[in-house]
């Protein structure tokens, strides 16, 4: 592997979050990166080496850092097709072992590479459990992600106390006197206490995958476009509802395979990720379109489940997406007004 | 591209300074030749400007002409930081807090005009860099505008004295900075910039502040970057500080809603949509309902508002409120064919036997209106129709009516499954319907199928299978299923399965095992109560939780079935400590009394139970049973109670048995024989827990 080959995909700021379209030429370190710059080249090298023995064709020589591993489209395509193979995911599967080992290496940048493939792993896994195939390989990876999240949260739940505007906050004042004790807040549990799990018990499956998706969401701004699109496509499969264009007329078709139960422990992170893909990644048209389709399918599903909260959540995402598609005005308040008279 | 706006014929720009007007044709020609210095000197001479003023004006001119690179070159030729340094007051004067509108006298009046000139130049430099896609650099320039304002005017400027131009530049920079960081992908910097914009005193106008709040809320809600809470420095005693992104986003969106309600800002429909998304994710739909109720009429169409409110209420389990709203919106003069409203109304009705007939109408209307792109909804309509009919059958007054409704219900559900064969809910519901109609083989088939298609991931599937097996008297198989289910659940969700297991042991007359299982269950429930608040269990499991009362009550029943009256009494006492007025506890007390031969007290307990719950079948049957042997005079009372019990629960074996005894004692031997036959047939189909209790 030659180190002096110019690599357009390699950027000095290892974890350049969402900078795909950024034509910014300056090379200073972004301050948002939570992970140290890839400080373990040996781990990365050994990960790349063991990966090249698994992939059908040799990875390009440009593959030298965790960042390039995360963003190289050729590597992603090869790994994806291996993961989608009908016999993938078994306990002795090489690729699953590689994903597991790479995640367990503890290197944050390498962990991102594993997370990049979570949509496919979770997607195939959940759709395949019902046909009784050996899936211990996928389960090992999912359990590793779950354990990681359990440790980093110290098992604590994620809660949200919904504010009551009659109490003043950092962003507003209130005329009512301040009550110091027991301000009545509505406490919501977004993700309950995490229990340790050594195996995937079937009733805990959705929870384990859901927590892995919560981890994915927390890193989503660093995920490549392809990964987000993979995720959106699996949402369509999971929902069991596909919209198709047929002779110029759009029809809904119920998907044959892959429809899965969608309890809230799974639906909550799914909706947060889709929310990001619709509202948070505007610059990427493909992501938006994939997420829009996923949202539509999930909306149809929520009607079939007559799940009020899911109807509300998916409905509002769809309306927001629509508002975004038809920008009524392009008012930019930071624009300098045009005038023919310039003055000081 | 905004440069396009310029092609409206020949443009004549003018510059104005120090009371002098000047056409820019000549200057522009020099710029076009690339001669910045000459252009600059002609401005300086013509308008009596100093170097920096002339350069700033030149940069502005280039920017307006759309020559962004040129503008940047001009700005780069000015040492703007040095210009700020010169404006800065001597260090010694910086004593107290950095900011805040201090009401002390202005010590050192920085020339607002001079500052405005420099700051505008830096701002234009930032805008130029933005247009050239050099976003991080742009952000840093923009930030230096704000830093300079903080340094130059650290004591604030009294409102009345603020220079318009300066305020405009500051507001624009405040608004631009977070956008630049965001576009550059530096989300953490963007979040700090937003907070700085909202928490510092920039004297922003309402619209500007609204825009910043909304954009910030959107970033917090969808950005996927968790950025710690706002710093403690901004805390006011007792005020609410959001502790994560979602809370902060919800707070900002609620503030925006309030601004709108108070008429301080224009209505923006997207704010409500963001809030809907955020609050429904957190299961806080009642809060959402409150927000919706506060919106003035006229913003939403009333039907839309009713339907959204209904979704909010039903999302929080307040089905009565939801149904009342849906009845309004589905009125023939409103929007009678709205599919979501119809489905929701049908679903609510399908869960209550007294509303089932109303639900049938909604379901039927859903089926009729599921057309075109919505055709897929037809299967849901059929499913709801089946469920409503099945529920209606439970309260029908005649056997004929009941069996007609039951077969229609199954037909409807069959129609639904033909359209939507992978719908797991539907598979489960078919299992329950068949079980309730005592078609146990079909029920078993669907229960197994449900476990298959869900991969065993849903607890109620396991429970249904075990209960159906128990109804077939296949207790040991039911136990195997229960044990398998226990293996597939984590400790805290095993309650309902352990309860099932205890009952299965009891059915096999393994009393000691049953007691052991109850003991295990009790330990589990007590540990659960002691160690954890509500945060441990995912809300979907909350309905399945076994409470301590049920265990003591189960144990009381167990001991009384063994005629261990003392132990039974102790357990019953424990149960009653937990729930004072319980018809189930009264039921058990009656059995205890009856077992000890205290018939009067037993009857009193049964009657008390019926006063608490008039539809409680077991006590009707027990009273019927007691009275069936108390002489001819009371036989009609017994008969009417038992008939009533059978009307509610036609498959109650004991009711048929006692009714047989009543007929026999009354001398109607043929009727008695029929009843006994019914009872003996039903004996084979008695589940250990009622099918409808499995949710």
Q: What is the pLDDT of residue A4?
A: 38
Q: What is the pLDDT of residue A29?
A: 38
Q: Is the pLDDT of residue B438 over 90?
A: no
Count how many domains chain B has: 1
How near does any CA of chain A get to the CA of B77, in Å?
A: 18
Q: How many CB pairs under 8 A join A and B?
A: 331
Q: Is the pLDDT of residue B364 over 60?
A: yes
B222–A275 CB contact, under 8 Å: yes
Q: What is the pLDDT of residue B102?
A: 45
A342–B534 CB contact, under 8 Å: no
Q: What's the pTM?
A: 0.87
pLDDT classification of B233: cutoffs 50, 70, 90: low
Mean pLDDT of the B348-357 span:
94
pLDDT classification of A167: cutoffs 50, 70, 90: confident
Instruction: Note whether B198 and B248 are within 8 A (CB).
Output: no
Contacting A residues, span 216-245, partner chain B, CB-CB under 8 Å = 217-221, 240-241
Mean pLDDT of the B409-413 span:
96
pLDDT classification of B99: cutoffs 50, 70, 90: very low
* Facing residue for A221 by CB, picked from B137, B224, B379: B224
Q: Is the pLDDT of residue A117 over 50?
A: yes
* Facing residue for B455 by CB, picked from A26, A202, A280: A202
Q: Is the pLDDT of residue A30 over 70?
A: no
Mean pLDDT of the B497-518 span:
91
pLDDT classification of B532: cutoffs 50, 70, 90: low
* A213-256 per-position pLDDT tens digit: 999 999 998 999 999 999 999 999 999 988 877 666 777 776 66
DSSP for A261-328 reads ---HHHHHHHHHHHHIIIII-TT-HHHHHHHHHHHHHHHHHHHHTT-HHHHHHHHHHHHHHHHHHS-S
Q: Is the pLDDT of residue B17 over 70?
A: yes
Element (H, E) at B678: helix B669-682
**Looking at A330-334, B103-107, B145-149, B551-555, which range is the least confident one?**
B103-107
Q: What is the pLDDT of residue A247?
A: 67
Residues of chain A contacting B532 with CB distance shorter than 8 Å: 193
Can you give the residue ranges of every domain in chain A? 1-31+40-163+185-219, 224-329
How near does any CA of chain B get to the CA of A214, in Å?
A: 10
Mean pLDDT of the B655-663 span:
94
Quick one: DSSP state of residue B545?
Answer: P
Q: What is the pLDDT of residue A22?
A: 38
Q: Is the pLDDT of residue B6 over 60?
A: no
Interface ipTM above 0.90: no
Residues of chain B contacting A25 with CB distance shorter than 8 Å: 134
Nearest CA among B83, B19, B80, B13 for reference residue B48: B19
> Within a domain: residue B689?
yes
Q: Is the pLDDT of residue A192 over 60?
A: yes
Residues of chain A contacting B240 with CB distance shorter than 8 Å: 163-164, 167-170, 183, 185
A163–B251 CB contact, under 8 Å: yes
pLDDT classification of A335: cutoffs 50, 70, 90: confident
Q: What is the pLDDT of residue A283?
A: 60
B218–A279 CB contact, under 8 Å: yes
Q: Is the pLDDT of residue B648 over 90?
A: no
Q: What is the pLDDT of residue B664?
A: 94
pLDDT classification of B64: cutoffs 50, 70, 90: confident
Q: Is the pLDDT of residue A336 over 60?
A: yes
> Within a domain: residue B641?
yes
Instruction: Give the CATH number for residue B623.
Output: 1.25.40.10
- Distance between CA B614 and CA A257 in Å, rounded? 48
B136–A32 CB contact, under 8 Å: no
Q: Is the pLDDT of residue B246 over 60?
A: yes
Q: Which of B192, B260, B277 to mutate to test the interface with A (most CBs of A within 10 A)?
A: B277
Nearest CA among B656, B691, B690, B652 for reference residue B434: B691
Give CA A3 to chain center in angstroms: 31
B276–A312 CB contact, under 8 Å: yes
> Within a domain: residue B233?
no
Q: What is the pLDDT of residue B483?
A: 95
B344–A306 CB contact, under 8 Å: yes
CB of A130 within 8 Å of a chain B CB? The answer is: yes
Which of the pair, A165 or B300, is modelled with greater confidence?
A: B300
Q: What is the pLDDT of residue A253?
A: 72
Q: What is the pLDDT of residue B338?
A: 95
Residues of chain A contacting B14 with CB distance shorter than 8 Å: 340-342
Alpha helices in B284-437 (DSSP H): 285-294, 302-315, 319-329, 339-350, 356-369, 377-394, 399-419, 424-436
Residues of chain A contacting B311 with CB distance shorter than 8 Å: 308-309, 311-312
Contacting A residues, span 141-180, partner chain B, CB-CB under 8 Å = 157-165, 167-172, 178-180
B236–A171 CB contact, under 8 Å: no
Q: Which residues pair with A188 in a beta bridge?
A: A160
- Distance between CA B31 and CA B40 in Å, rounded? 9
**Looking at A209-218, B21-30, B376-385, B669-678, which range is the least confident one?**
B21-30
How near does any CA of chain A get to the CA of B516, in Å?
A: 25
Domain span including residue B639:
615-695
Percent of all residues in chain B with a pLDDT value above 70, rounded to a whole number: 91
Q: Is the pLDDT of residue B120 over 70?
A: yes
Mean pLDDT of the A290-312 span:
95
Q: What is the pLDDT of residue A172?
A: 82
- Average pLDDT along chain B: 87
Residue B379: partners with Cβ closer than 8 Å, 6 or more residues away: A304, B415, B416, B419, B420, B423, B426
CB of A204 within 8 Å of a chain B CB? The answer is: yes
Instruction: Copy the structure tokens of residue B246.
Output: 């979602």
Q: Is the pLDDT of residue B7 over 60?
A: no
Which residue, chain included where needed, has tokens 């990365």? A44
Instruction: Note whether A202 and B267 are within 8 A (CB).
Output: no
CA torsion sign, B508 to B510 to B513 to B517? positive
Q: Which residues pair with A162 in a beta bridge?
A: A186
Which of the pair, A90 or B279, is modelled with greater confidence?
A: B279
SS (HEC) of B495-540? HHHHHHHHHHHHHCCCHHHHHHHHHHHHHHHHHHHHHCCCCCCCHH
* Facing residue for B241 by CB, picked from A170, A251, A254: A170
Q: Which of B455, B486, B491, B533 to mutate to test the interface with A (most CBs of A within 10 A)?
A: B455
Mean pLDDT of the A134-160 span:
93
CB of A136 within 8 Å of a chain B CB? The answer is: no
Quick one: DSSP state of residue B336?
Answer: T
């Amino acid at each position: 592997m030659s180190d002096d080959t110019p690599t357009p995909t390699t950027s000095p700021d290892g974890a350049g979050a969402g900078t795909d379209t950024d034509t910014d030429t300056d090379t200073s370190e972004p301050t948002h990166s939570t992970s140290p710059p890839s400080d373990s080249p040996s781990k990365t090298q050994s990960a790349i080496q063991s990966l090249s023995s698994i992939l059908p064709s040799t990875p390009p020589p440009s593959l030298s850092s965790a960042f390039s591993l995360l963003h190289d489209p050729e590597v992603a395509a090869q790994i994806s097709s291996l993961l989608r193979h009908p016999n993938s995911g078994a306990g002795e599967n090489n690729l699953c072992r590689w994903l597991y080992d790479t995640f367990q290496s503890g290197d944050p940048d390498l962990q991102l590479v594993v997370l990049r493939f979570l949509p496919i792993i979770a997607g195939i896994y959940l759709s395949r459990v019902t046909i009784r195939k050996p899936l211990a390989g996928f389960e090992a990876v999912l359990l590793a992600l779950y354990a990681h999240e359990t440790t980093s949260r110290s098992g604590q739940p994620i809660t949200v106390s919904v504010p009551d505007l009659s109490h003043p906050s950092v962003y507003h004042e209130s005329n009512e006197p301040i009550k110091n004790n027991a301000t009545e807040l509505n406490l919501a549990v977004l993700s309950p206490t995490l229990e340790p799990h050594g195996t995937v018990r079937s009733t805990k499956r959705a929870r384990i995958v859901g927590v892995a998706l919560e981890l994915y969401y927390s890193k989503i701004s660093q995920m490549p476009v392809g990964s987000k699109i993979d995720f959106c496509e699996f949402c369509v499969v999971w929902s069991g509802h596909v919209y198709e264009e047929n002779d110029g007329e759009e029809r809904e078709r119920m998907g044959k395979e892959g429809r899965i139960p969608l309890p809230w422990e799974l639906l909550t992170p799914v909706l947060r990720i889709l929310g990001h893909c619709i509202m948070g990644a505007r610059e990427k048209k493909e992501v938006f379109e994939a997420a829009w389709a996923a949202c539509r399918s999930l909306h149809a599903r929520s009607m079939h489940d007559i799940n009020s909260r899911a109807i509300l959540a998916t409905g509002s995402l769809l309306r927001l997406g629509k508002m975004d598609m038809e920008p009524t005005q392009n008012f930019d308040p930071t624009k300098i007004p045009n005038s023919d008279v310039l003055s000081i | 591209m905004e440069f396009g706006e310029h092609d409206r014929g020949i443009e004549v720009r003018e510059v104005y300074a120090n009371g002098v007007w000047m056409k820019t044709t000549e200057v522009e020609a020099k710029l076009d030749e690339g001669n910045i210095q000459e252009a600059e000197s002609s401005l300086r001479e013509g308008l009596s400007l100093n170097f920096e003023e002339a350069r700033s004006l030149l940069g502005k001119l280039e920017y307006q002409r759309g020559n962004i690179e040129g503008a940047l070159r001009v700005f780069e030729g000015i040492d703007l930081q040095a210009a700020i340094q010169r404006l800065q007051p001597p260090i010694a004067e910086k004593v107290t807090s950095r900011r805040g509108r201090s009401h002390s006298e202005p010590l050192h009046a920085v020339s607002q005009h001079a500052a405005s000139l420099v700051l505008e130049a830096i701002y234009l430099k930032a805008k130029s860099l933005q247009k050239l896609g050099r976003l991080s650099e742009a952000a840093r320039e923009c930030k230096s505008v704000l830093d300079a304002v903080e340094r130059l005017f650290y004591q604030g400027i009294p409102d009345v004295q603020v220079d318009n131009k300066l305020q405009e530049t500051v507001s624009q920079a405040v608004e631009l900075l977070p956008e630049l960081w965001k576009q550059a992908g530096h989300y953490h910097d963007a979040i700090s910039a937003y907070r700085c914009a909202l928490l510092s005193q920039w004297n922003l106008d309402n619209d500007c502040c609204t825009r910043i709040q909304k954009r910030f809320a959107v970033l917090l809600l969808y950005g996927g970057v968790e950025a710690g809470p706002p710093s403690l420095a901004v805390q006011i005693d007792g005020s609410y500080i959001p502790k994560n992104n979602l809370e902060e986003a919800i707070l900002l969106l609620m503030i925006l809603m309030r601004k709108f309600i108070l008429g301080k800002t224009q209505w923006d429909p997207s704010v409500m949509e963001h809030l809907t998304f955020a609050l429904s994710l957190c299961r806080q739909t009642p809060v959402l309902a409150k927000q919706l109720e506060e919106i003035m009429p006229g913003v939403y169409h009333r039907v839309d508002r009713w339907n959204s409110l209904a979704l909010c209420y039903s999302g929080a389990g307040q089905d009565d409120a939801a149904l009342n709203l849906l009845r309004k919106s589905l009125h023939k003069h409103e929007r009678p064919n709205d599919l979501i409203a119809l489905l929701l109304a049908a679903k609510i009705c399908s869960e209550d036997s007294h509303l089932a007939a109303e639900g049938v109408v909604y379901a039927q209307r859903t089926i009729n209106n599921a057309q075109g792109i919505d055709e897929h909804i037809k299967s849901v309509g059929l499913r709801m129709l089946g469920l409503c009919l099945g529920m209606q059958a439970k309260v029908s007054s005649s056997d004929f009516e009941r069996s007609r409704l039951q077969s229609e219900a199954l037909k409807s559900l069959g129609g639904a499954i033909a359209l939507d064969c992978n719908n797991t809910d539907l598979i489960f519901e078919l299992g329950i319907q068949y079980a309730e109609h005592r078609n146990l083989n079909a029920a078993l088939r669907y229960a197994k199928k449900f476990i298959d298609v869900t991969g065993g991931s849903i607890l109620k599937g396991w429970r249904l299978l075990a209960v159906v097996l128990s109804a077939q008297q296949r207790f040991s198989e039911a136990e195997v299923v229960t044990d398998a289910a226990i293996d597939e659940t984590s400790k805290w969700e095993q309650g309902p399965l352990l309860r099932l297991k205890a009952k299965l042991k009891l059915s096999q007359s393994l009393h000691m095992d049953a007691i052991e299982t109850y003991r295990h269950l009790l330990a589990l429930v007590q540990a659960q109560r002691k160690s954890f608040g509500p945060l441990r269990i995912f809300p979907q499991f909350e309905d399945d939780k076994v409470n301590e009362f049920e265990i003591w009550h189960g144990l009381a029943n167990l001991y009384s079935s063994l005629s261990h009256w003392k132990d039974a009494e102790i357990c019953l006492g424990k149960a009653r400590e937990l729930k004072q007025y319980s018809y189930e506890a009264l039921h058990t007390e009656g059995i205890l009394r009856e077992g000890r031969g205290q018939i009067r007290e037993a009857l009193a307990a049964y009657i008390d139970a019926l006063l608490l719950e008039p539809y409680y079948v077991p006590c009707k049957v027990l009273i019927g049973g007691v009275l069936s042997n108390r002489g001819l005079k009371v036989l009609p009372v017994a008969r009417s109670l038992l008939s009533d019990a059978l009307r509610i629960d036609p498959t109650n074996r004991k009711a048929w048995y006692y009714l047989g005894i009543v007929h026999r004692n009354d001398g109607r031997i043929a009727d008695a024989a029929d009843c006994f036959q019914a009872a003996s047939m039903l004996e084979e189909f008695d589940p250990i827990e009622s099918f409808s209790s499995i949710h």
